[in-house]
Amino acid sequence: MTQRVELAAVMDRLAVDGLITDYAVAVDDGDWEAYRNLFTPDGRADYRSAGGIEGDAGAVAEWLAESLRLFSMRQHLIVNRRVRFEVLERDTGDTARVQADYVNPMRFAGDGSAAPDFVCGGRYSFGLLRTDDGWRLRDVVVREKWRRLPDGAGASPQAE
């Protein structure tokens, strides 16, 4: 590999990492316009394993906005990011897949306690496409693996 190719690969990895971070921040901050803008026009998200919906990014953003009103605090921690660049129409590196684990503590609105009321964790699968505007999400699939319910109700492993 030449230095130019290696530099391009590093820049792509940084851009992809930034997009995944922007995704988490948009959800945690409830910035649904930013959330929609992270996706390609035909982008989709699937939250069914966590009790949600599957659909285009606009419909999912509306569902998230309504569902997450229950929580006054949300904080995604997205870790162990595995990035794989793929080939689209014989052009190397125009698509990517990211697998990443998450932990998501949340506090119910109106709760004055210091500890989160609800914590869940699992794995994301992100499909990305390089566009004229930079990297965008084509698909997001959430695979919730576990959750801890309020008041120590216990952990609930989810089917993978």
Would the pTM of this model clear 0.75, i.e. be above it? yes
Is pLDDT of 77 > 70? yes
What DSSP letter does each residue of 9-25 carry, written as one string? HHHHHHHHHHHHHHHHH
Whether 1 has a pLDDT exceeding 70, the answer reads no
Any idea which residue has 């994301």 for tokens? 124
Query: Which of the four pLDDT bands, split at 50, 70 and 90, describes residue 52?
Result: very high
What's the confidence (pLDDT) of residue 7?
84
Rounded CA-CA distance 117/119 in Å is: 7
Query: What pLDDT was estimated at residue 15?
Result: 96
Kindly give, in sequence order, each residue whose CB lies less than 8 Å from that of residue 93, ignoring residues fewer than 6 positions away.
8, 9, 12, 85, 86, 87, 130
The pLDDT value given to residue 149? 82
Collapse the DSSP code of 61 into the 3-class scheme (helix H, G, I; strand E, B; otherwise coil) and give the result: helix
Mean pLDDT, residues 36-50: 98
Computed over every residue of the chain, the mean pLDDT equals 88
Which pLDDT value is given to residue 8? 83
Q: What is the pLDDT of residue 160?
A: 45
- The pLDDT, as a whole number, for residue 35 is 98
Q: Which residue has the higher pLDDT, 37 or 10?
A: 37
